[in-house]
Structure formats: structure tokens, C-alpha cells
């Protein structure tokens, strides 16, 4: 069971409560405990909401990023905060419809490895848990580091789960 915070755009959307509630219901059905910031009352400004939202996020081990999160100043802050805190981050666009828990991630299918590297980079999961991501903008340096042994990847941790 994961404790999941839902992050996404709220301001400017008339149906944000329905969007968040649909995801909340799905995550609960899968056995998770969910923090949904869309249940907060309306009428306060951004500066009043963010400390509340970050406290909600802090209580969780996982953050579920809705597809519209990049359109939200607050969700971008929540994303960066989650990364700094080492929280697990799940992106809606990669979330499988056949998941049983929030541990499932949908990996897009591409016709060639080149498409995968160019569009997504490399992501390694071990037993459903994220272990390593290599960003495509820095692929040449990442491959060089893996080949010459200068990468800081603790490979032994991949097998100690």
C-alpha cells in the first residue's frame, strides 16, 4: 500500500474536482491511501494553498502527476519538492490501465530502440521500483560513463532488493 499525493492543474479548470476525484477513486481501489488537494475549499490565493499542499505531499511516499501538471505553477513546485525529498513519482501518461497498485508503470512501446532513446531516455525498474533514469539530452556522456566505469550507479543495490 502506498500513500499517494495527486498533483496537477487546479486553477483555471472548471472540472478539476472531477479529474482529481477520478484518479483518487482509482488509486483507492488499487489499495492506496490518497491525499487529494482538490478537496480543499476555494477562495484562498496560491501562497495560502502551497504550504498546505506541501504538507499533504510530505505525508506521502508517492506523487501521482496528472497529465496537466506542467501547466500548473503549483504542481511544478510539488514535482521539484518530491524529487528533492526522494519521493516516488508516477506520471499519468505512463500509468497502466491494468495496474493493480501504484507500483505499476506503463512503458511506452516504440518500433526501434532509437525511438525509445530519443523520446524517453532509458529508465530501469527492478521489481516494479524505479532504479535509474538516463536523460536523452546527455546520452553520450551517460553511455561513456557506463562504459568507462565512471558512472556513480550502485549496481549492487539492483540485486539487494
Structural domain range at position 127: 113-158
- Give the count of domains, the chain: 2
Task: Kindly state whether residues 76 and 42 are assigned to the same domain.
Answer: yes
CA distance 60 to 97: 22
Q: Report which secondary-structure segment, H or E, holds 142.
A: helix 139-148
**C-alpha distances in Å from residue 80, one per residue of 42, 108, 138, 159:** 24, 24, 20, 28
Q: Of 45, 62, 94, which residue is a domain's last? A: 94
pLDDT for the residue 115: 40
pLDDT per residue as tens digits for the range 77-123: 999 999 999 899 999 887 755 443 444 443 344 333 334 434 445 55
Contacts of residue 70, defined as CB under 8 A and 6 or more positions apart, other chains included, come to 76
**Residue 61 is part of a domain; what is its CATH number?**
3.40.50.10400
Does some domain include residue 107? no
- Angle (CA) 15-19-38 rounded to 5° is 80
Q: Which residue has the cell 482538490?
A: 38
Task: Kindly state whether residues 65 and 9 are assigned to the same domain.
Answer: yes
Task: Kindly state whether residues 72 and 127 are assigned to the same domain.
Answer: no
Whether the model clears a pTM of 0.75, i.e. scores above it, the answer is: no
Does some domain include residue 38? yes
Residue 102, C-alpha cell as written in the block: 501504484
Closest CA to 71 of 6, 7, 8: 8
Return the SS3 of 114: helix
pLDDT per residue as tens digits for the range 27-69: 999 899 999 999 999 999 889 999 999 999 999 999 999 999 9
- Angle (CA) 82-35-105 rounded to 5° is 60
Amino acid at each position: 500500500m502506498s500513500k499517494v499525493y495527486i498533483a496537477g492543474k487546479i486553477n483555471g479548470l472548471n472540472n478539476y474536482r472531477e479529474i482529481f476525484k477520478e484518479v483518487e477513486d482509482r488509486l483507492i481501489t488499487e489499495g492506496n491511501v490518497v491525499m487529494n488537494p482538490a478537496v480543499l475549499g476555494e477562495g484562498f490565493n496560491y501562497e495560502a494553498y502551497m504550504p498546505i499542499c506541501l504538507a499533504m505531499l510530505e505525508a506521502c511516499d508517492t506523487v501521482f502527476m496528472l497529465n496537466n501538471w506542467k501547466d500548473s505553477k503549483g504542481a511544478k513546485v510539488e514535482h521539484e519538492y518530491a524529487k528533492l525529498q526522494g519521493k516516488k513519482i508516477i506520471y499519468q501518461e505512463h500509468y497502466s490501465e491494468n495496474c493493480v497498485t501504484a507500483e505499476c508503470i506503463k512503458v511506452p512501446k516504440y518500433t526501434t530502440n532509437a525511438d525509445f532513446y530519443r523520446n524517453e531516455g532509458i529508465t530501469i525498474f527492478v521489481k516494479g521500483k524505479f532504479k535509474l533514469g538516463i536523460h536523452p539530452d546527455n546520452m553520450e556522456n551517460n553511455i561513456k560513463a557506463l562504459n568507462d566505469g565512471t558512472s556513480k550507479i550502485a549496481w549492487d543495490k539492483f540485486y539487494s532488493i
